[in-house]
Chain A
Amino acid sequence: MAGSGHAPLREDLEVLLTVRDLEVEFPVGKGAVVHAVSGISFDVAEGETLGIVGESGCGKSTVAKSIIRLNDIKGGTVDYQGNDLAQLEGEDLRSLRPDLQMIFQDPISSLNPRRKIRQVISEGLAVWGDEKGSWSQSRIEELMLSVGIDPKFGDRRPHQFSGGQCQRIGIARALALDPKVLICDEPVSALDVSVQAQVLNLLEDMKKRYGLTLLFISHDLSVVKNVSDRIIVMYLGKACEIGNANELYENPRHPYTRALLAAIPEPAPTVDVSEGDISGELPSPINPPVGCRFNTRCSHATDVCFTDEPEMQRVGDSDHYLACHHPVAVSINGQQAV
């Protein structure tokens, strides 16, 4: 994977957010750095859901946090409605922050345990001033109702709710600021399957009702496909494949995307189960492989993969891009034709 380049960026659409060449490093002592995100470019059209999928440590959360400046950015731009969020400071950044809200994986610990949930939901008021909408009790009650929490429980505290209910409260808190973009980092990973569908449906409903644009991070390939219009597959700080959700799963071309789709318990019909047996360990992000970052585990690798980083290129004329020197060719019935 190792893919850089701007091919997947779109010009013909109402693009709301464009991340260009994003680079994030974390110093880890003795002069070493973790190359958490190394040159990723993507955009999100207004009203679209962009899914980010990939294994633990590949940089999904770092991308999300960089957009809302929860970590330092080494390079690149984050264009939001004509402003570079990566450069903004002070009042200018403050005034845009309510537009981009985030919900987290661990629903219970992301809520302040000492507060009543009606205070939790109106937390943004104290931080962002009251210029964003009216903070009447009726607004809070409306939000609670819309996420399916009975307003009569407004005086209870987070620990009195289940994980699924806390995630609903987290969503209400994010919506209170009337955001345009909602960034969801593994929002259902900590929930039981029976409750997961409730929260996924709620996010779809809220998206329609409030006209939201969503960035949805998950390591679960089925969940990501269900909610997303478009998906980025990440590996070791790079993007390997980007495309329309249905197209990507029907016609996966990158060896790593195919490995993921083959390794899940009920493998996708478009891949061969044996493709899920990628060898070796995940390389260290402190010393990532040169060339294609997937080269240490890829059964298709040749010499060029160890010297040249593949650039993002379009596949045919569909909304589908990948960064690989030897894309896997697939025929209609799912048999590999290479």
Chain B
Amino acid sequence: MAQVSAANTQLLVRDLTVRFPTTRGTVQAVNGVTFDLAKGASLGIVGESGSGKSVTAKTLMNLLPRTAEVSGDVIFEGEDVRRLALQGREHFWGVKMTMVFQDPMTSLNPVKKCGEQIAETLRYHLKRDKKTALAEAEDLLAQVGIPEPGKRVNQYPHELSGGLRQRVVIAMALACEPSLLIADEPTTAVDVTVQKHLLDLLDKLREDRGMSMILITHDLGVARGRCDEIAVMYAGRLVERSAPETLFSDSRHPYTDALLRSIPRIEQPSHTRLEPIPGRPPELINPPEQCAYAPRCRFAQADCLESIPDISGVAGMHEFACFHPANTDRGREALASNLASGRTATGLEISSAGASS
């Protein structure tokens, strides 16, 4: 994984916290998220739904609703991104930093031709004239591998397949030559063959343009194949961060470890018994002052219920937030003592065959 130094750091996120006041209480959506991204690198953010991936991305993109309470620092190429919004710098987002969403129709206008939509982006941000913009739009469609771009510029989004629509969105995101692309579950709604094409395309564009990427996904396999580094989120926190191979072969956080064990693998024979993670993700309203994973954790000890573990370790190498990490002596001891008593510190019943559900 690329070591981040002042010279090649593109994005610095420090202690990012996002809260949403609601009638039911305050949702603690993102809690003290800290990470760096080197120029040209790709970071995968993985986690299940509700873990705070999209809120993190929307914070970077200045897309949060006004009700959101944000604190922490976001520094992009030396500039304080959260202050850009106050200064009215709307030509930052969509130009230097752009985003692709899961559903291409979030970004596309159904009643406008594809070419016009891309041209509009160019005219708004880069002040191109109409004719130049349309020509550039066609060129962009060709660059993202859309066949017959001359014909597609005049088509409406509904005339295209889901995969082609997502390519149009990627073309639009690339129009102003961004240095960072944030892709939030860009392939979750498409088939595997289309997914492969789109991810290959993003890889190629990143390489050709030296662009960095944050790839948000719930699919650990996608992140493994496409990213230099993976950050795992749980309940609004980063709980583990490392190079993909380290994460897959030597995970430290019990959640990562359990996630990897629970996924069916193509090389296993059929009817291989899966090891599910018991319970479900926690509520983010009034969470107790303890490790958020404790109620589901096979390793949980008394100290896990007394405070929240900070993420620590060797920055840029392998970091994790856990008092009794998996694949360490401390973790093995914790698990052995829980197995001996048949339950964890939270009362979760466990056995060596896997946690009971």
Which residues of A come within 8 Å of B, CB atoms?
A: 55-56, 148, 162, 164-165, 192-198, 200-201, 204, 219, 221-223, 225-229, 245-246, 249, 259-261, 263-266, 268-269, 276-278, 281-282
- By beta carbon, the residue of chain A nearest B258 is A194
Nearest CB of chain B from residue A249's CB, rounded to whole Å:
7
Q: How many residues of B contact A (CB 8 A)?
A: 43
Docked pose: A172 CA to B281 CA in angstroms: 23
Instruction: Give 30 CB contacts A-B under 8 Å.
Output: A56-B190, A165-B280, A193-B218, A193-B220, A193-B262, A194-B258, A194-B280, A194-B281, A195-B280, A197-B276, A198-B276, A201-B276, A219-B191, A219-B192, A222-B263, A222-B264, A225-B266, A226-B271, A226-B272, A227-B270, A246-B270, A261-B266, A263-B192, A263-B193, A264-B192, A265-B195, A266-B265, A276-B192, A281-B163, A281-B164
Inter-chain CA distance A264–B262, complex, in Å, is 18
Are A260 and B264 in contact, with the CB atoms below 8 A? Answer: no
State in angstroms the CA–CA spacing of A139 and B267 once bound together.
40
On whether the beta carbons of B193 and A148 are closer than 8 Å, the reply is: no
Contacts of B258 in A (CB 8 A): 194
**Complex alpha-carbon distance, A126 and B50, angstroms:** 37
Chain B 232-256: CB-based contact to A (< 8 A → 1; otherwise 0): 0000000000000000000000000
**With A194-B258, A263-B193, A281-B163 already in contact, 12 other A-B pairs whose C-beta atoms are closer than 8 Å:** A55-B193, A162-B280, A193-B48, A196-B263, A200-B274, A201-B276, A227-B270, A260-B192, A266-B221, A266-B224, A277-B200, A278-B193
The interface residues of chain A lying within 8 Å CB-to-CB of B197 are: 277
Cβ proximity bits B148-174 to A, threshold 8 Å, 1 near / 0 not: 000000000000011110000000000
A-facing residues in B81-129 (Cβ within 8 Å) = none
Nearest A residue (CB) for B195: A263
What is the bound-complex CA distance between A165 and B280, given in angstroms?
Answer: 10
User: Taking CB as reference atom, which chain B residue is nearest A268?
Assistant: B266
Report if B275 contacts A (CB, 8 A). yes
Which listed residue (B161, B264, B271, B280) contacts A223, Cβ 8 A? Answer: B264
Q: Which residues of B come within 8 Å of A, CB atoms?
A: 48-49, 161-164, 190-193, 195-197, 200, 218-222, 224-225, 258-259, 262-278, 280-281, 357
The answer on a CB contact under 8 Å between A197 and B262 is: yes
Residues in B neighbouring A277, C-beta threshold 8 A: 196-197, 200
- Closest-by-CB residue of B relative to A280 is B147
With A and B bound together, what is the CA distance between A226 and B272 in angstroms?
Answer: 6
When chains A and B are docked, how far (Å) is the Cα of A193 from the Cα of B270? 18
In the bound complex, what is the Cα–Cα distance between A56 and B272 (angstroms)? Answer: 26
Complex: chain B residue closest to A228, CB-CB: B270
Q: With A and B bound together, what is the CA distance between A55 and B162 in angstroms?
A: 13
B265 contacts which chain A residues (CB < 8 A)?
222, 266
When distances are taken between beta carbons in the complex, the residues of chain B under 8 Å from A192 are 48-49, 218, 281
**Alpha-carbon distance A196/B164, docked complex (angstroms):** 30
A274 to B185, CA, bound (A): 23
Chain B contacts of A264 at CB under 8 A?
Answer: 192, 221, 266
